[in-house]
Amino acid sequence: MGNEESVFFSRVLTELTLSFHIIYATIGVGVPLMIMIAQWVGIKKNDEHYILLARRIARGFVITVAVGVVTGTAIGLQLSLLWPNFMQLAGNVIALPLFLETFAFFFEAIFLGIYLYTWDRFENQKKHLLLLIPVAIGASASAVFITIVNAFMNAPQGFDILNGELINIQPLVAMLNPAMPTKVAHVLVTAYMTTAFVLASIAAFRLLKGSNHIYHKKSLFLMLKLGLIFGIAAAIIGDFSGKYLAAYQPEKLAAAEWHFETEKGAPLVLLGILDGEEVKYAFKIPYALSILAHGSPATEVTGLNDFPQDEIPPLYIHYLFDGMVMIGMFLVFISFVYVIGKIRKWKFISSRWFRWIVVMGGPLAILAIEFGWWLAEVGRQPWILKGFMRTAEGATTSNNVDIMLILFSGLYLILGIGSVVVLRRMFRNNPVEQELEDRHAEKGGDFT
Amino acid sequence: MTLEIVGISVLWLFLFGYLIIASIDFGAGFFNAYSLLTGRQHILTNIIQRYLSPVWEVTNVFLVFFFVGVVGFFPKTAFYYGTTLLVPASIAIILLAIRGSYYAFETYGSRGHKGYSFMYGIAGLFIPASLSIVLTISEGGFVSMVDGQPVLDYWELFTNPLTWSIVVLSIAAVLYISAVFLTWYADKAKDAKATSLMRKYALLWSLPLIITAIGIMVELRQHNAEHYGRMLDFWWLFAISAVMYVGTVWLIWKRKKYGLALSLLIGQFALAFFAYGISHYPYLLYPHLTLYDGFTNPTMAVALIIAFIAGLGLLIPSLYLLLKLFLFNKDYVRGKKDNHA
Ligand code: HDD
Ligand code: HEM
Ligand code: HEM
């Protein structure tokens, strides 16, 4: 097997591992915050339903964390195994956030262990809630640090290269690169948003499947409110991400928008198909691309024809971009309708068809996360470190990557199926109604 | 002390931490599976689950810390080890993944599926075996440079007795460390049956441990005379370590002071592990890579060390809290309280 094949299989394996890890990682970032909010609302309103909600989410979280941790360990090692040349360079410049991330993991893991095993151990519920703060901080911090590494790959700075030697290395400057603010903010907010929609989707599903318990209704309303807030934030920050791209990675934006000729007042292209350089069957929103890129309709947007041909990313990322944005708009729309409907007492928001739409929201949000990452990573090609190292130069020369790909595919299949089966069984064997009854019976006797 | 030494010492310390707590974890999984097989499950399962449940994730982070830190402090290791370790490290990852996830699946999902427990137990022995290959490779003789790229000679690796002795040592160490720890823990939990069973296992595994350890020294003399010579320079560290070993075994034999026995065990491994590490100096990979060629730039090194100190400030109190609540809390250890979510 030649070098080209190792590069190819390294790419596929990285794509596979990250695409799988990111599902569990996103949930891992969002869930601690959701538990915290639910438990806090429960304490404030003195409502056992919210407390139980927190407790049940926490229980399910154990499973997703486990898969997140093991797949994260896999990707962490794989970065060195599959991209040794890249990591040798990156290690010199961007090792700091990677290192800090391990402390965030420590922090999260320790307090998660404590939190999970101290339910009802404290007289004062608030003390127990306090334990969750480090968990939420740790989870979000790990996302922040890893996203900083990824931002660095998109907009490297903080070092110079002189005769092949790295000089003037400034770790903090490397961390505070121009891609960092929008990327970190967008990743965090979309993680919260996705988690809210996933939890809303579970509540809606339970309501559809016969349980009409007020517990699920409270959960649904809470999660859709949160989903709406974070969804709007995601769209706003997404808009800033577009402006970042226009300034620092214009070829990515142009490829995502099939924008070939540099022009003023550029339209935003939605869907369509490409015939040579001609865009067919697309919806065009006049001036919208100029607004996304620079905030005003008259400004100029650089087109693909102004870049060297071998530095243009694959054009299919257009669909990824459209998919992500449309899902985002759709989710904001349905959560908005639900929240307004709840206030104005619209009947149809409790209908079966509307609930089915909410059920779709969770998987769609996860799909949007995948689309977003594929857009960001494929859109960076052919570079692994933009402007400095091409993906092919970073890869391993080892010949066994194809076999490893098969092994890991099997592993993810097992983990994916296993986690779903276990989660379903866990909640089916212990429905809310049952658990509430048990707790009341328990409370009757002793108060500890 | 140079920055290089500070860096490697920090990493070696965390690797030692991983060695101890992961051994307890891996060994416990094996004993659990074994007791299932011999129908003595009721004796051990409770003890093992009580200890493992709240801490398994923390164990994993020690490993992550080590490999992230190595690439941070010594970026060239990514090039040498990253290229050569693709297969053994990938196998270790897959085993770790199966083990970690099934632990969670079983503990929280469906309790008591035998198949899981066996897989879990066996994976716990293969992981140290596959990870220990890294130490073997670091002794040199298995990696050659072809067109400027490091290539691992699998045939040489798998036919060399050194490889297999290190594999056996890693397994014996896992079982021995775990048995001693669980003896102490069961005794604290006032579970006489479990204590006596674990005590038996501890004594059983003490012998293979010391035999393979000595065997490796002998083989190293042929395989890497330079390293062997430096090990002899530090003979006194190994000697103290051996005395501590005798102390542990004696205390366990006499059913006395299990706490002291555990401390001696940790001391024994710490001394041997550090003596091995110090004598390995200055090579990260004989003879291709030393600490000094592999080191990162001084700016990054200082930044990492500052981050490390700040991180420790956060970590030590948190770890202390964890241990206080679960390892040293009498009610918890004895199973009087179960407050799991
Ligand atoms: C629920 C998920 C989700 C939703 C609804 C959106 N995004 Fe997004 N987007 C992501 C999830 C995401 C992400 C997975 O978090 C990405 C991948 C890499 C990154 O930085 O964030 C991302 C990247 C990303 C990028 C590329 C950044 C880069 O490559 O540096 C842009 C331009 C946008 N987004 C813009 C938007 C806009 C205008 C949205 C309007 C609604 C939007 N996103 C909704
Ligand atoms: C340390 C940081 C990272 C490194 C070294 C890295 C490296 C790479 C490389 C080399 C590829 C192959 C690209 C290709 O040839 O197609 C890739 C793809 C990918 N990465 Fe990153 N990445 C990093 C961070 C991230 C992060 C934080 C995510 C989010 C989870 C991510 C998600 C992806 C995805 C989804 C792909 C697949 C894209 C495709 O289909 O090609 N990456 N990454
Ligand atoms: C946006 C992208 C990512 C997010 C949000 C994310 C977040 C997370 C989270 C929440 C965990 C669980 C940690 C725990 O509970 O202990 C995790 C695990 C992990 N992630 Fe990711 N991750 C992302 C991408 C990556 C990438 C690209 C890497 C590779 C450098 C990586 C490396 C790891 C490692 C090593 C672990 C295991 C940590 C442990 O053992 O506790 N992650 N990640």
Give Cα B68 to chain centroid, integer Å. 17
CA of A180, nearest ligand number:
1
- Ligand 2 atom 36, closest CA: A15
H-helix or E-strand spanning residue B285: strand B283-285
Instruction: Test A396 with B104 for CB contact under 8 angstroms.
Output: no
CA of A25, nearest ligand number:
3
Q: Report in angstroms the alpha-carbon separations of B96 from B26, B57, B106, B185, B207.
A: 10, 12, 15, 25, 28
Residue B85 contacts A where some CB pair is shorter than 8 Å = yes
Residue A114 contacts B where some CB pair is shorter than 8 Å = yes
Euclidean distance between CA atoms A97 and A101, whole angstroms = 6
Cβ pair A119, A128 in contact under 8 A: yes
Residue B105 contacts A where some CB pair is shorter than 8 Å = yes
Residue B302 contacts A where some CB pair is shorter than 8 Å = no
Closest CA to A375 of A432, A439, A424, A315: A315
Share of chain B residues as helix, strand and coil, in percent rounded to the nearest 5: 80, 5, 15
Structure tokens at B223: 């395989």
User: Distance, CA B59 to ligand 2 centroid (Å)?
Assistant: 27
Backbone angles phi, psi at B216, to 5 degrees: -65, -40
Q: Using a 6 Å cutoff on CB, does residue A73 contact ligand 3?
A: yes
Q: Residues B306-315: contacts with CB within 8 Å, 24+ apart?
A: B307/A96, B307/A99, B307/A100, B307/A103, B308/A99, B308/B10, B311/A100, B311/A102, B311/A103, B311/A106, B314/A103, B314/A106, B314/A107, B315/A103, B315/A106, B315/A107, B315/A110
Is A283 buried (19+), middle (13-18) or exposed (0-12) by CB count in 10 A? exposed
H-helix or E-strand spanning residue A179: none
How confident is the model at residue A2, as a pLDDT?
47
A67, A95, A398 member nearest B72 (Cβ): A95
Using a pLDDT cut of 90, give the percent of chain B over it: 0
Quote the mean pLDDT of chain B: 80
Task: List, for residues B302-328, the tens digit of each pLDDT value.
Answer: 888 888 888 888 888 888 887 777 766
Residue A125 contacts B where some CB pair is shorter than 8 Å = no
Euclidean distance between CA atoms A46 and A49, whole angstroms = 9
Q: Using a 6 Å cutoff on CB, does residue A366 contact ligand 3?
A: no
Amino acid at B316: I
- Ligand 1 atom 33, closest CA: A238
Q: Ligand 1, residues A148, A177, A188, A190: which to mutate, most atoms within 8 A of Cβ?
A: A190
CA of A76, nearest ligand number:
3
Confidence of residue B340 (pLDDT cuts 50, 70, 90): low
How confident is the model at residue A1, as a pLDDT?
38
Interface residue of B6, B10, B61, B111 to substitute, partner A, most A CBs within 10 Å = B61
Mean pLDDT across the stretch B72-97?
82
How confident is the model at residue B283, as a pLDDT?
78
Distance from CA of A99 to the nearest CA of B (A): 6
Structure tokens at B264: 């001696």
Q: Using a 6 Å cutoff on CB, does residue A376 contact ligand 3?
A: no
Residue appearing with tokens 């209704």 = A217
How confident is the model at residue A447, as a pLDDT?
38
Closest CA to B96 of B74, B139, B67, B71: B67
Count of CB atoms situated within 10 Å of the CB of B268: 21
Structure tokens at A444: 């009757």
Residue A62 contacts B where some CB pair is shorter than 8 Å = yes
How confident is the model at residue A279, as a pLDDT?
66
Three-state SS sequence of A274-325: EECCEEECCEEECCHHHHHHHCCCCCEECCHHHCCHHHCCCCCHHHHHHHHH
H-helix or E-strand spanning residue B149: strand B149-152
Q: Where are the domains of chain A?
A: 3-262+302-443
Helix-helix angle A3-45:A125-154, to 10 degrees:
150
Say whether B321 sits in a helix, a strand or coil. helix
Taken in order of first residue, the domains within chain B and their CATH numbers are 1-334 (1.20.1630.10)
Structure tokens at A362: 């969770």
pTM over 0.90? The answer is: no
Q: Ligand 3, residues A31, A81, A145, A146: which to mutate, most atoms within 8 A of Cβ?
A: A146
Residue A398 contacts B where some CB pair is shorter than 8 Å = yes
Distance from CA of B95 to the nearest CA of A (A): 9
Q: Report in angstroms the alpha-carbon separations of A285 from A230, A248, A261, A364.
A: 25, 24, 17, 24
Cα distance from N-terminal residue to C-terminal residue, chain B: 47
Structure tokens at B7: 């860096």
How confident is the model at residue A310, as a pLDDT?
74
| Residue predicted with more confidence, B154 or B52 | B154
Q: Which ligand 2 atom lies nearest to the CA of residue A7?
A: 15
Mean pLDDT across the stretch B149-159?
80
Cβ pair B125, B174 in contact under 8 A: yes
Q: Using a 6 Å cutoff on CB, does residue A146 contact ligand 3?
A: yes
User: Distance, CA A410 to ligand 3 centroid (Å)?
Assistant: 20
Instruction: Test B101 with A66 for CB contact under 8 angstroms.
Output: yes
Which residue numbers in chain A have pLDDT < 70?
1-3, 120-121, 123, 265-266, 274-280, 282, 287-288, 433, 439-448
Instruction: Test B68 with A66 for CB contact under 8 angstroms.
Output: no
User: Distance, CA B1 to ligand 2 centroid (Å)?
Assistant: 38
Residue A430 contacts B where some CB pair is shorter than 8 Å = no
Whether B335 has a pLDDT exceeding 70, the answer reads no
User: Distance, CA A390 to ligand 1 centroid (Å)?
Assistant: 24
Mean pLDDT across the stretch B326-340?
62
| Residue predicted with more confidence, B271 or A211 | B271
Closest CA to A58 of B7, B341, B173: B341
Contacts of A403 in chain B (CB under 8 A): 87
DSSP state of A261: S
Cβ pair A71, A412 in contact under 8 A: yes
Q: Report in angstroms the alpha-carbon separations of A388 from A208, A363, A392, B82.
A: 53, 37, 12, 21
Task: List, for residues B100-124, the tens digit of each pLDDT value.
Answer: 777 777 766 555 567 777 777 888 8
Mean pLDDT across the stretch B158-162?
83
Euclidean distance between CA atoms B19 and A100, whole angstroms = 22
Whether B336 has a pLDDT exceeding 60, the answer reads no
A111, A408, A418 member nearest B318 (Cβ): A111
Q: Using a 6 Å cutoff on CB, does residue A29 contact ligand 3?
A: yes
Q: Using a 6 Å cutoff on CB, does residue A64 contact ligand 2?
A: no
Residue B309 contacts A where some CB pair is shorter than 8 Å = no
Cβ pair B7, B305 in contact under 8 A: yes
Whether B239 has a pLDDT exceeding 70, the answer reads yes
How confident is the model at residue A371, as a pLDDT?
92
